[in-house]
Amino acid sequence: MINSPPRRWFQHFEAHLLSTWEGRSPGARAVEIGCGTGYGTKLILDQFGAATVHAVDLDPKMIARAERRLRRYAGRAFLSQGSATDLRVTLEQFGGGKDASYEAAFDFAIIHHIPNWRDAVAEIARVLKQGGKFFFDEVTATALARPSFQLLFDHPTEDRFTAGEFLAELPRHGLEVGERWRTLVGGDYLFGVAIRQ
Ligand SMILES: C[S@@+](CC[C@H](N)C(=O)[O-])C[C@H]1O[C@@H](n2cnc3c(N)ncnc32)[C@H](O)[C@@H]1O
């Protein structure tokens, strides 16, 4: 499902929505967690205008597919297998993952996959510079509780977050979201941009 044309179409829509609040990030040094097959990485470079992206995914097969997709972005897209909960280890081979080292961070529908999801939020806050932007689109506990979702997808079942719980977690890590967020489909999906204070 996640590697299908409908997902690509929806991801275009997500990128468009996210760019309506804080616009593009021209010239940014960006980090992307859970890059999957690298379609979002391409959007971050082409649509958001980032100079470089350090992208990570836990699944080596996804990284292999992303490497194929992003071949023509050599020198701008850097891919690494590892966890979003420890970017220092995952990105050190590129000199990345350091405190306050990125102007933008992207989460295209991945944090709800992480059992200790708060650690991923903390890690994003750690690596963002002051004023850096955290672009997120997430699937909430409301969606994950639906039988259709449970039939089609495999997700952790404990401690998933509602839109309100995710938004409440951000300021605990110095990420200020203000009015730059919205939900879709009765709270199933959450989109927003938080700024690192
Ligand atoms: C729903 S897919 C989203 C992929 C892509 N961002 C997209 O929007 O199409 C979630 C991705 O997160 C990855 N993932 C799950 N847990 C992770 C973790 N702890 N760190 C990094 N990636 C993770 C999975 O391997 C998968 O590629």
Strands 29-33 and 77-81: unpaired
What would the DSSP string read from start to end of 24-66? Answer: --TT-EEEEES-TTSHHHHHHHHTS--SEEEEEES-HHHHHHH
Pocket test for ligand 1, best of 113, 138, 152, 153 (most atoms within 8 A of CB): 113
pLDDT in tens, 131-181: 999 999 999 999 998 888 888 888 888 888 999 999 999 999 999 999 999
Q: How many residues does the chain have?
A: 197
Measure 35 CA to ligand 1 centroid, in angstroms: 6
pLDDT of residue 192: 96
Q: What is the mean pLDDT of each run of 10 residues along the chain (197 residues)?
A: 82 88 87 97 96 98 97 97 97 96 97 97 98 97 88 84 97 97 94 97
d(CA 31, CA 131): 15
16 near 191, Cβ under 8 Å?
Answer: no
pLDDT of residue 155: 85
Q: Whose CA is nearest to atom 13 of ligand 1?
A: 34
Q: Whose CA is nearest to atom 19 of ligand 1?
A: 83
pLDDT of residue 24: 81
Residue 4 DSSP SS3? coil
What would the DSSP string read from start to end of 140-186? Answer: -HHHHTSHHHHHH-----SS---HHHHHHHGGGGTEE-TT-EEEETT
Identify the CA nearest to 47 among candidates 65, 64, 34, 28: 28
Pocket test for ligand 1, best of 32, 58, 80, 152 (most atoms within 8 A of CB): 58
Residues in contact with ligand 1 (CB, 6 Å cut-off) = 2, 7, 11, 33-36, 40, 56-59, 62, 83-85, 108-110, 113-114
d(CA 119, CA 191): 19
Sorted by where each starts, the structural domains of the chain and their CATH numbers stand as: 5-196 (3.40.50.150)
Q: Whose CA is nearest to atom 17 of ligand 1?
A: 58
pLDDT of residue 153: 81
